[in-house]
Amino acid sequence: MKKIASVIVDVPTLQTNKPFDYYIPEEFIGHIEIGMRVVVPFGNRHIQGFVVGLKERSDIKNLKEIIEPMDVIPVLNKELLHIGDYLSEKTLCFKIAAYQVMLPPALKAKYEKYITLIDDHALEQLPTDLKKLFDKQKRLKWKDVEKFVSTSYLYRKAKEGLFEVTYEVKNQGNKKKVLYYVPTTNDVEHFQNKKNQLSKPLSQKQEEIYQVFLRHFQPHTVSQMERKVANARAPLNALVNKGLLKKEEYEQYRDPYVNRYFQKTKALPLTEDQQKAITPILNTIEEKQQEVFLLHGVTGSGKTEVYLQAIEKVINQGKEAIVLVPEISLTPQMVNRFKGRFGNLVAVLHSGLSLGEKYDEWRKIQRKEVKVVVGARSAIFAPFENIGIIIIDEEHENSYKQEDIPRYHARDIAIERSKIHHCPVVLGSATPSLESFARAKKGVYKLLTMDKRMNQSRLPTVEIVDMRNELKSGNRSMFSAQLFEKMQDRLAKKEQIVLMLNRRGYSSFVMCRDCGLVVKCPNCEISLTYHKVTDQLKCHYCGFETGTPKVCPECGSNHIRFFGTGTQKVEEELGKVLPEARVIRMDVDTTSRKGSHEKLLTDFGQGKADILLGTQMIAKGLDFPNITLVGVLSADSSLHIPDFRSSEKTFQLLTQVSGRAGRHQLPGEVIIQTYTPEHYSVQLAKNHDYLQFYRHEMLMRKQGQYPPFYYLVLIHINHEDVQYVYTVAEKIAQFLRAQLLPSSKVLGPAASPIVKIKNKYRYQVLIKYKHDPNITPALKKIIHHFYQDQLKKGLTISIDMNPYSLM
Ligand code: ADP
Ligand code: ZN
Ligand code: ZN
């Protein structure tokens, strides 16, 4: 019997980034398995950990005992534990962080830290504030005490023995149970005999219910029964007393889609293009081969049907499928396409679900009750054990990269999992990332192309309007003459319009028109965003809020006002110039309530509005036949952010939003308004020319030594003391220059584009490299070497391998 468990404990530090051995208490031997969470003693507290191994002997003397297991079945299978180790190695995060990220948030038990006063003598030594607190209660939450004294004081007093500090695991994922009435036998004949043996006949109501059970020999809740027989509760209980039925509690999944009706769909006969694209995918499924496909299909070319039919093949083989979709295109429309085909075999994971709902969906996967999961980034960790295909739609989307620890990209995880399961990965996009397209060109990925739209519908014609000329000709409105004319035309024809405001890297800030002052956050050095509803200025990094100044704090002028165009402002303007138009506005403000995103889209789909106005969240996934005009109000704002991907992002956005027009019978038109009409991103988006864009952008990347020619590593060094940050950053840069190959380039240290966040100064060091075996060891040494400093002085060093945000 294996009596010892190796445990990765939940203490994210370098010293604890390895398994610790514990005895398994007698009563849990044979029960505690690899992949389960356990509570263990660590130092003088109780914390959570993951069992990563079982063994008979340990080299360590005086092992402590596991307190108790937290799970009945392992939450991580062996494959996912391997993925965790892979994540930890590739993103340089601690193992515990890698394991945690793979679990649904409800399972990430939160700790509550408690302080217990040792005795009354200790009470006498406390300052008055605390004395009052502890007078009533000996045990208090750390965070309640921390309000009154400094953290270091608490630590000091705890060391002196006044307090004991304990950690408690709080579990949030509770399962909802529902009461069912079930026949006491699972044999129909026996069920009839039992009734015949009763001394008295059943009442009329009881008889009706009994007949329902005869016809539908399955568990019923009271409300299910009451749909067939009114007031069923009392007679159901009577049948229990007579021994015909029994009560049982089953887990009820809080499936938000369960009570909705899905139009059942069948596989469509594929077009020639689709057939060509799907054949190699089906072959790899058949032959259980690992392969990465890049499906480059223009908007409306029918990529989703290809996904669906590949999944069908996988399900027929008894295997499972993971489909990743960017959070913002995970619309009910999208989900319905999968649920319509595969019904209840589909689980959905997206951020709109409550913690409990996410947990329920995850458990359906764990219990093998579903075969397909459709979800955003983290669905890549779905605990399937027999994966037959992994699909990543809109593979170019940045949201597949996690910005927090562990800083992983879902594409890398998909490929690693496909190697274990010997299955294909399909990356789909109308505008693939440069990285992926370059890999396909080199033959690392297999390129599949679909360059025609369905139903012979043509890609929309795109017209570029130079807004500088509009200004010269005296048009100061946000709509160019061309766009305005076409909007009037569509309103007359009762066709629909989509207006997009490109707000990436752009905000409505407050500026003084006399001296040019822009009001900035005192903590973060970025301009504050104006919120009209509350007439407040807000920092989007740290949450700082202040009222709008009436006069300029710099020059005293009263020409200080909000600048830039928000969706609200466009809506107001539309109300003035096209008062007859019905407008639906979609942005973070109107879609923050649960289900509102969905409702707005449904309304628009049902023709309850003429114009859908929104931020880039409307650029994707919409497929409504009546949209014949798309207007982009400001193509430029995303071109000017300091990021080497800004051209790529602009091209992708313009192409995506153009793809919303004329997807069905009616032809579509697109108007792009811009102050930089000559930019190649804008020009090539006009021609829907991805290949030309790819060639041009590759030249730029080669010149600038950016991906996909070089790999990047971004190191952020943050601290309150600017001098100290700079010193550490400089030391890190020098260290790297000494360690890395001469072909690798170490840039910086430089102040980050956002110099200060939450009162901490930010410096960065950027590494560009092609092949350098010294990279990982050097970075690990940095974490190691600077570790003690971090603890002492509140310094943070974060490392992002292949960063997607350089801010
Ligand atoms: P994409 O995902 O490439 O943008 P979609 O999958 O949304 O394209 O397909 C565009 C439209 O064409 C959808 O309305 C879809 O139902 C339809 N469609 C896809 N494949 C076929 C087919 N083989 N026959 C008929 N219609 C199809
Ligand atoms: Zn001023
Ligand atoms: Zn701020």
* SS3 annotation, 255-272: CCCCCCCCCCCCCCCCCH
| 303 in contact with ligand 1, CB cutoff 6 A | yes
**pLDDT tens track for 685-696:** 988 899 999 999
pLDDT at residue number 258: 47
Residue 362 tokens, joined: 């995850």
Say how many CA atoms lie within 13 Å of 89 toward its Cβ: 9
Q: Nearest bound ligand to CA 625?
A: 1
The ligand 1 atom at the shortest distance from the C-alpha of residue 270 is 23
Q: Nearest bound ligand to CA 522?
A: 3
Tell which wins on pLDDT, 271 or 620: 271
- Per-residue pLDDT band for 506 (boundaries 50, 70, 90) equals very low
Residue 503 clears pLDDT 70, i.e. is over it: no
Residue 167 clears pLDDT 60, i.e. is over it: no
| 274 in contact with ligand 1, CB cutoff 6 A | yes
| 302 in contact with ligand 1, CB cutoff 6 A | yes
- Per-residue pLDDT band for 537 (boundaries 50, 70, 90) equals confident
Tell which wins on pLDDT, 31 or 282: 282
Q: How high does pLDDT run on average in the chain?
A: 85
Output the CA 300–ligand 1 centroid distance in Å. 6
pLDDT at residue number 259: 44
The ligand 1 atom at the shortest distance from the C-alpha of residue 304 is 6
Tell which wins on pLDDT, 53 or 329: 53
| 621 in contact with ligand 1, CB cutoff 6 A | no
| 270 in contact with ligand 1, CB cutoff 6 A | yes
Among 4-13, 15-24, 457-466, the range scoring the smallest mean pLDDT is 457-466
pLDDT at residue number 563: 59
Which residue, among 347, 353, 424, has the nearest Cα to 392 in the 3D structure?
424
Rounded distance between C-alpha atoms, residue 605 and residue 514, angstroms: 46
Among 37-51, 441-455, 556-570, the range scoring the smallest mean pLDDT is 556-570
State which of 461-470, 666-675, 736-745 shows the largest mean pLDDT.
Answer: 736-745
pLDDT at residue number 172: 45
The ligand 1 atom at the shortest distance from the C-alpha of residue 454 is 12
Which residue, among 436, 341, 343, 417, has the nearest Cα to 379 in the 3D structure?
417
Question: H or E stretch including 365?
Answer: helix 355-366
Output the CA 510–ligand 2 centroid distance in Å. 11
| 623 in contact with ligand 1, CB cutoff 6 A | yes
Tell which wins on pLDDT, 762 or 69: 762
Output the CA 514–ligand 2 centroid distance in Å. 5
Of 270, 273, 298, 305, the one to substitute when testing ligand 1's pocket (max ligand atoms within 8 A of C-beta) is: 305
**pLDDT tens track for 111-139:** 566 788 877 788 888 888 888 888 777 78
pTM of the model: 0.77
pLDDT at residue number 470: 82
**pLDDT tens track for 68-106:** 877 777 889 999 999 999 999 999 999 999 999 999 887
Residue 263 clears pLDDT 50, i.e. is over it: yes
Q: Which residues contact 375 (CB under 8 A, 6 or more apart)?
A: 322, 323, 324, 325, 330, 347, 348, 349, 350, 382
Rounded distance between C-alpha atoms, residue 82 and residue 103, angstroms: 14
**pLDDT tens track for 776-794:** 999 988 887 765 555 557 8
Of 271, 454, 458, 657, the one to substitute when testing ligand 1's pocket (max ligand atoms within 8 A of C-beta) is: 454
Q: What are phi and psi of 543, to 5 degrees?
A: 85, 0
pLDDT at residue number 486: 95
pLDDT at residue number 248: 80
Output the CA 522–ligand 3 centroid distance in Å. 7
Residue 53 tokens, joined: 């191994």
Q: Nearest bound ligand to CA 513?
A: 2
Known binding-site residues equal 512, 515, 521, 524, 539, 542, 552, 555
DSSP state of 458: P
Rounded distance between C-alpha atoms, residue 389 and residue 238, angstroms: 51
Rounded distance between C-alpha atoms, residue 360 and residue 173, angstroms: 9
The SS3 assignment for 573 reads helix
Among 172-176, 410-414, 654-658, the range scoring the smallest mean pLDDT is 172-176
pLDDT at residue number 249: 76
Tell which wins on pLDDT, 562 or 344: 344
The ligand 1 atom at the shortest distance from the C-alpha of residue 337 is 16
| 79 in contact with ligand 1, CB cutoff 6 A | no
pLDDT at residue number 691: 96
pLDDT mean over 519-529: 73
Rounded distance between C-alpha atoms, residue 151 and residue 47, angstroms: 20
**pLDDT tens track for 288-344:** 999 999 999 998 899 999 999 999 999 999 999 999 998 877 777 788 889 999 988
State which of 158-167, 393-402, 578-587, 620-629 shows the largest mean pLDDT.
Answer: 393-402
Q: Which residues contact 429 (CB under 8 A, 6 or more apart)?
A: 294, 295, 296, 297, 393, 394, 395, 396, 436
Helix, strand, coil percentages, rounded to 5, for the chain:
35, 25, 40
Chain centroid offset of residue 55 CA? 37
Output the CA 486–ligand 1 centroid distance in Å. 27
Rounded distance between C-alpha atoms, residue 95 and residue 25, angstroms: 25
Tell which wins on pLDDT, 260 or 75: 75
Q: Going by CA atoms, what residue is nearest to atom 19 of ligand 1?
A: 302
Chain centroid offset of residue 490 CA? 36
Q: Nearest bound ligand to CA 622?
A: 1
